[in-house]
């Protein structure tokens, strides 16, 4: 098991020193959803490349380059949203890019170290449920992590993974009911469903999507679940919002591309931002 506090002691010490406040809520922004940070009242922004030993997209001598994916510039923003102090992570490191899973959960570790107990994880996802349309938003009722159970166990340890009932309140019931209330008050059609984690890096085949549909998956994406699992093991309350950027392979005949993902997410960003802001003000 990785000792996260030891491995990331320099990063944690730097952020604790630089943080202007104790955040009430942490937000991790998914592909194409970065404009949310711009619409917040920013007090301080830190480029992740200026944080000593923060994982970067620079290749190590003997490794192929990890690629920072378009739509994921690396920033940590400290912002005010209504009466709340929030920390916003803009630019995710993905497991499929070749990073260690322990690097991918840094936003959760940092937020918890700063004393934050609420985290909103957002992502772009492919729609499997035929009632969804690209541009729709989905609130996760549950998620699937079977594809990375082994890596997760290495990351957080067997005892945390075995903790009784640990995922019965992850995502958090209280958080989800706030999101549903907020969506209703704004007239936003917020779907509920199950988020399925795919390791990537390629999109799925139509046969894989058909299988996932039969297993009860409503949306598929390549992030978030390891963040949710670690946050839950650290007793944080978690909400997961997906922007359905495309219909998954085979559900629609349209060819998938990362450009389409970011374009649709950008189009949905106004709706996404007002939902998040309303939920944050109620929490
Ligand atoms: N599959 C996996 N991940 C994704 C998709 C998809 O269709 N869309 C956005 N992220």
Query: How many Å apart are CA 180 and CA 186, to the nearest integer?
Result: 10
Residue extents of the structural domains in the chain = 4-55+68-282
Mutate to test the pocket of ligand 1, among 224, 256, 258 (most ligand atoms within 8 A of CB): 256
Q: DSSP code of 10?
A: H
Of 282, 77, 48, residue with least CA distance to 175: 282
Checking if the pLDDT of 58 tops 90, the result is no
Testing ligand 1's pocket by substitution, the residue of 29, 129, 246 carrying the most ligand atoms inside 8 A of its CB is 246
Three-state secondary structure call for residue 259: helix
- How sure is the predictor about 81, in pLDDT bands with cuts at 50, 70 and 90? very high
Look at residue 138 and tell me whether its pLDDT is greater than 90: yes
- Output the ligand 1 site: residues, CB below 6 A: 124-126, 198, 203-204, 220-222, 245-246, 248, 256, 261
How confident is the prediction for the chain on average, in pLDDT? 92
Topology, domain 4-55+68-282: Rossmann fold (3.40.50)
CB within 8 Å of 170: residues ≥ 6 apart: 228, 229, 231, 232, 238
pLDDT of residue 163: 66
Q: How confident is the model at residue 98 (pLDDT cuts 50, 70, 90)?
A: very high
Write out pLDDT tens, residues 217-254: 999 999 999 999 999 999 999 999 999 999 999 999 88
Element (H, E) at 173: helix 173-186
Ligand 1 centre and the CA of 43: distance in Å? 33
Is residue 66 predicted with pLDDT exceeding 60?
no
Handedness of CA 31, 34, 35, 40 (dihedral sign): positive
What would the pLDDT profile of 150-164 be if each residue is shown by its tens digit?
Answer: 999 999 887 777 765
Count the Cβ atoms, other than its own, within 10 Å of residue 139.
22
pLDDT over 50 (residue 64): no
> Which residue, judged by its Cα, is nearest atom 7 of ligand 1?
126
């Amino acid at each position: 098991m990785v000792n996260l506090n030891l491995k990331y002691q320099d990063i944690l010490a730097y952020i604790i020193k630089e943080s202007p406040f104790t955040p009430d809520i942490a937000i991790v922004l998914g592909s194409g959803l970065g404009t949310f940070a711009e619409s917040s009242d920013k007090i301080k922004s830190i480029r992740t490349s200026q944080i000593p030993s923060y994982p970067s997209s620079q290749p190590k001598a003997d490794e192929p380059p990890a690629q920072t994916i378009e739509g994921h510039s690396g920033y940590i923003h400290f912002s005010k949203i209504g009466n709340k102090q929030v920390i916003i992570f803009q630019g995710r490191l993905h497991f499929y890019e070749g990073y260690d899973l322990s690097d991918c959960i840094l936003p959760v570790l940092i937020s918890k170290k700063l004393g934050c107990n609420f985290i909103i994880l957002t992502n772009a996802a492919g729609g499997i449920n035929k009632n969804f349309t690209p541009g729709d938003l989905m609130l996760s009722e549950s998620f699937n992590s079977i594809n990375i159970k082994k890596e997760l166990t290495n990351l957080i340890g067997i005892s945390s993974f075995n903790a009784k009932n640990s995922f019965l309140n992850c995502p958090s019931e209280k958080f989800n009911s706030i999101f549903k209330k907020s969506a209703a008050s704004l007239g936003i059609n917020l779907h509920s469903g199950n988020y399925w984690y795919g390791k990537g890096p390629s999109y799925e085949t139509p046969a894989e999507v058909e299988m996932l549909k039969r297993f009860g998956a409503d949306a598929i994406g390549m992030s978030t679940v390891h963040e949710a699992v670690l946050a839950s093991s650290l007793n944080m309350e978690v909400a997961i919002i997906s922007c359905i950027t495309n219909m998954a392979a085979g559900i629609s005949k349209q060819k998938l591309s990362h450009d389409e993902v970011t374009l649709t997410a950008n189009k949905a960003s106004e709706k996404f931002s007002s939902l998040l802001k309303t939920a944050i003000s109620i929490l």
